[in-house]
């Protein structure tokens, strides 16, 4: 929203904000007398970018009204000229926008003239894209990369193939936070369902020392081991293997895990005879 107001020796700003500090107000009015002041503040998460949100989060408890105005609002005068009570009023309005969701859908949108669209069916996401997203979603500083995975350029209404995040990653810092949260919700729904569909891939291995050599090896190489399995043990074929549909990939991985468990159980049974 944009508030425009002209200050001509009155002590009332915008929508009836009375400045309590008369002396400060008079100084303010003299400095910008007859000047058209423009303050644009966000109304919802539609108007707040991922970059702005991260800046707010980084400041945490140390954030001030001035910080909020500088990050979330557009002001056409030097902020130092604006009285503190006015800053507080508009910073409050800007912060309120964070609690208003706005567009909660993953519909297409434009950044710098580029139309970006979400997977028409999240279940069609590739194994590689899903794996990258899981990694990026674990750290908010990588959230723009997750957005580059899930929102990709449209080619005549068809989403383009996922080829990594290097090309559009930085651009996705401008993604509206409403789109970020919508994408996050859809992706988390998918992976929650995956845990139910393929329990053998997500259930704990059970027992053992979590700091053992085997446990450390598993944590370090589990993703590579999965990709190598999908590539039938040939590292050269990994680039093609990660393009498999995530359900096809997980079905094969779950089959492999269950098959190995069964064979290991048979070996132990034979040894105990």
pLDDT, tens only, 94-152: 889 988 988 889 999 999 999 999 988 999 999 999 999 999 999 999 999 999 999 99
Exposed, middle or buried: residue 134 (CB in 10 Å: 0-12, 13-18, 19+)? middle
How many CA atoms, within 13 angstroms, populate the side-chain half-sphere of residue 160? 16
CB 45 within 8 A of CB 56: no
202 vs 12, more confident = 202
Residue 255's pLDDT band, with cuts at 50, 70 and 90, is very high
Q: Residue 79 has what pLDDT?
A: 82
Residue 184's pLDDT band, with cuts at 50, 70 and 90, is very high
Assess whether pLDDT exceeds 60 at residue 238: yes
28 vs 191, more confident = 191
DSSP 8-state code for residue 18: E
266 vs 184, more confident = 184
- What percentage of residues in the chain have a pLDDT greater than 70? 80
DSSP 8-state code for residue 162: P
Comparing 26-35, 85-94, 117-126, the range with the smallest average pLDDT is 26-35
Q: Residue 35 has what pLDDT?
A: 60
DSSP 8-state code for residue 161: P
Q: Residue 245 has what pLDDT?
A: 95
Q: Residue 119 has what pLDDT?
A: 86
Mean pLDDT of 36-60: 90
Comparing 40-49, 50-59, 71-80, the range with the smallest average pLDDT is 71-80
What residue ranges in 99-180 does DSSP mark as E strands? 109-111, 114-118, 151-155, 158-159
Q: Residue 268 has what pLDDT?
A: 80
Q: Residue 7 has what pLDDT?
A: 35
What is the residue-averaged pLDDT of the chain? 83
CB 159 within 8 A of CB 124: no
129 vs 32, more confident = 129
Residue 188's pLDDT band, with cuts at 50, 70 and 90, is very high
Q: Which residues of 5-18 are buried (b: 16+ CB within 10 A; e: fewer)?
A: eebeeeeebeeebe
In angstroms, the CA 266 to CA 273 distance is 11
pTM of the entire structure?
A: 0.80
Q: Residue 116 has what pLDDT?
A: 96
């Amino acid at each position: 929203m944009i508030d425009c107001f002209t200050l001509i020796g009155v002590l009332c700003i915008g929508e009836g904000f009375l400045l309590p500090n008369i002396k400060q107000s008079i100084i303010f009015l003299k400095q910008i007398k007859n000047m058209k002041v423009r303050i644009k503040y966000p109304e919802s998460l539609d108007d707040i970018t991922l970059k702005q949100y991260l800046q707010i989060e980084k400041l945490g408890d140390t954030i001030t009204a001035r910080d909020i105005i500088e990050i979330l609002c557009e002001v056409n005068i030097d902020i130092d000229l604006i009285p503190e009570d006015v800053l507080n009023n508009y910073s409050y309005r800007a912060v309120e926008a964070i609690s208003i969701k706005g567009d909660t859908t993953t519909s297409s949108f434009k950044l710098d003239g580029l139309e970006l669209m979400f997977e028409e069916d999240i279940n069609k996401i590739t194994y590689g894209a899903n794996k990258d997203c899981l990694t990026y979603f674990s750290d908010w500083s990588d959230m723009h990369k997750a957005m580059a995975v899930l929102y990709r350029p449209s080619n005549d209404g068809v989403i383009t193939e996922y080829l990594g995040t290097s090309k559009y990653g930085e651009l996705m810092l401008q993604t509206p936070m409403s789109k970020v949260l919508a994408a996050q919700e859809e992706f988390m729904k998918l992976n929650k369902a995956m845990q139910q569909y393929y329990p053998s891939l997500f259930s704990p291995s059970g027992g053992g020392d979590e700091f053992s050599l085997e446990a450390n090896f598993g944590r370090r190489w589990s993703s590579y081991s999965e990709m190598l399995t999908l590539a039938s043990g040939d590292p050269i074929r990994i680039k093609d293997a990660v393009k498999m549909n995530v359900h096809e990939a997980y079905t094969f991985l779950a089959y492999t895990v269950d098959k190995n468990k069964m064979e290991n159980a048979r070996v132990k049974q034979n040894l105990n005879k």
